[in-house]
Structure 1
């Protein structure tokens, strides 16, 4: 079946690049103060066509339309090319995506998805970015060999801290569940002073009603008997019938290699089951805070 826009509805295609491109263009349009109607008219599109692009509902997005919108919004050349790449990816029929370096600086694939999520369940072996202090973030970012400039590191730290607003804002904060391996409490990042402050911050922020923090202890062993990558399950808002407006995504952190995004329902279900298994083997919230406080006191004694 082919829609009036030329989309082939019978062919399953990934929604991820389309959704990310739409979110990217919508954010830039809002930042420049254009209405949908005004922006569409200036690039010779109908308002309904631009609305479909921004909603990720158009499989075949023309590169010339993306370029024209980027020029209208005064988007830099690197991000313009990244947006055009997303338009090309929107045609893919593969459910598996490994993206690397699509955006640099203040905008990338994961940050865009994270900002739009209603719920995030994540497993980490270091303190995740949404819960990091500025000093901890600076030590993490500064250790990467590609980030040597002090100004560049400061910008990245600032951006990471701004991302945390989705957790601490008063209106509709993200529901965040962090399954944190105990090694994160002992792995030295920066210094004992930095670690002590970071652990105190963890204990405090875990008291927020929208934040659940559980430590996965050493003595729990390997869940499912195998190592696994750091992952996040992102779920989005639901419509009037309680159906998700956007399907959930699993993000696998790639470290120095490519990040991976999974959309296939069976894969999302598998990681949801893994998260449940880790959760079942983890300390409860009260035990978690008690362990964090105990490790913090040990760090403070070592400083003296």
Structure 2
């Protein structure tokens, strides 16, 4: 194996996967087949297929620019696509992305939309199971300088993301390990909290959703304050091969989000989720506690 091949294999898959999704969506929006798009930028069909799939290869920035031009992508998003191409060649398993990418390049939303399974440990109600009012209260507090219509767009995007959980065809498998503090930390007002907690109890009845409370009485798992995390799995193809490597997402809040790809890191967080699960309340106990907490807010 030569040096170039080693670099491409060891380079991270995350930026490539995000870039591939973006280019595929832009091509489909323009009504172009892979064959037609490849010919327009003088690429082979197989090369464009690999690029859209995020597979190991040497991504040329000139190809990305050419594709963006064919698809009519604006200058700002073209720059961000090229930046992803540069990131894709970095030999790193660790990524911290903050305000670099626009909504079209939101790294987490892109990964979440491609995922088949999510394991979420959170200390507030996660976005995929929030009510509209709960989501609006959180979004308005964080984007406090945004205009009302911008807040509306962000809330609507969050509501659309929830269809992955409730759709009839191949819904997302969602496991939520929710710390008990989320039941009593007021978001918005008491009415919003009561409605949110009751909705959580109902959503947990879906066959593809598991919601369990990690109680105060469980103490501190592994003796550390590990914070919130999401494990994203992407399923297997018809031959049982993993479609994409799993990812750990660590929400950065006011700073940069962090994504971990290294198998040892992913396994460590999987073990952490298992440890939290081992001390969490059962599903029926969780629903009882959610309803009890909702009553206290009414």
Q: Is TM-score (shorter-chain normalized) higher than 0.5?
A: yes
Which residue of 69, 72, 75 corresponds with 2:73? 75
In structure 1, the partner of 2:18 is 20
In structure 1, the partner of 2:277 is 279
1:209-228 Cα distance to aligned partner (Å, 9 max, x none): 00000001111111111101
Q: 2: distance between equivalents of 1:225 and 1:194?
A: 33
Deviation at 1:145, TM superposition (A): 4.4
In structure 2, the partner of 1:233 is 231
Which stretch of structure 1 is more off in the superposition, 104-113 or 253-262? 104-113
- After superposition, the Cα gap between the structure-2 partners of 1:106 and 1:129, relative to the gap in structure 1 and judged at 3 Å, is farther
Q: 2: distance between equivalents of 1:105 and 1:265?
A: 28
Which residue of 187, 190, 200 corresponds with 1:189? 187
Deviation at 1:9, TM superposition (A): 6.8
Aligned partner of residue 10 in structure 2, secondary structure: coil
Long gaps (5+) in structure 1: none
In structure 1, the partner of 2:51 is 53
TM-score normalised over the length of structure 1:
0.94
Q: 1: distance between equivalents of 2:44 and 2:230?
A: 37
1:45-79 Cα distance to aligned partner (Å, 9 max, x none): 12111111001124321111111212222223332
Aligned partner of residue 233 in structure 1, secondary structure: strand
- After superposition, the Cα gap between the structure-2 partners of 1:125 and 1:189, relative to the gap in structure 1 and judged at 3 Å, is same
Deviation at 1:146, TM superposition (A): 5.3
In structure 2, the partner of 1:158 is 156
Deviation at 1:199, TM superposition (A): 1.0
Q: 1: distance between equivalents of 2:174 and 2:17?
A: 22
Q: Note if 1:104 corresponds to 2:102.
A: yes
Deviation at 1:104, TM superposition (A): 2.2
Q: 2: distance between equivalents of 1:277 and 1:23?
A: 34
Q: 1: distance between equivalents of 2:112 and 2:143?
A: 25
Q: 1: distance between equivalents of 2:62 and 2:144?
A: 33
Q: 2: distance between equivalents of 1:200 and 1:284?
A: 17
Q: 2: distance between equivalents of 1:239 and 1:105?
A: 29
Does the 8 Å contact 1:106/1:159 carry over to 2?
no
Does the 8 Å contact 2:125/2:178 carry over to 1?
yes
1:186-226 Cα distance to aligned partner (Å, 9 max, x none): 11111111111111111111111000000011111111111
TM-score normalised over the length of structure 2:
0.95
- After superposition, the Cα gap between the structure-2 partners of 1:79 and 1:216, relative to the gap in structure 1 and judged at 3 Å, is same
Does the 8 Å contact 1:130/1:160 carry over to 2?
yes
In structure 2, the partner of 1:130 is 128
Does the 8 Å contact 2:143/2:151 carry over to 1?
no
Which residue of 223, 245, 248 corresponds with 1:247? 245
Question: Of Structure 1 and Structure 2, which has the larger fraction of its residues in helix?
Answer: 2
In structure 2, the partner of 1:209 is 207
Which residue of 86, 89, 114 corresponds with 2:87? 89
Cα RMSD (Å): 1.7
1:161-184 Cα distance to aligned partner (Å, 9 max, x none): 111111111111111000000111
